[in-house]
Amino acid sequence: MQKDLATIPKKDVERILSRIKALEVDPRPPCSEKLTGLERYRLRQGRYRILYSIQDKQLTVWIVAVGHRKDIYR
């Protein structure tokens, strides 16, 4: 994930990290969407997307990728 964040402007990184931190309290916020055919979710933060998975048994959220909306789904 650090490699993904290195290419993103600093002000956007701060907002993205804030959204990730909020997942600790609510891993399925109303603004998240489950991706079709995958056990992953998507959060929008401006032009960037945060892809993550949730393991309910272990109460764990794994950040899969962070990137620009045009590149993240490839």
Quickly name the fold that domain 10-68 has: YaeB-like fold (3.30.2310)
Query: 0.85 exceeded by the pTM?
Result: yes
CA 68/CA 73 separation, integer angstroms: 9
pLDDT tens digit string along 16-33? 999 999 999 999 999 999
CA distances from 41 to 6, 16, 30, 50, 69 (A): 22, 15, 11, 8, 14
Q: Mean pLDDT over residues 39-51, rounded?
A: 95
| Contacts (Cβ under 8 Å, ≥6 apart) of 59 | none
Report residue 17 as tokens.
């990290």
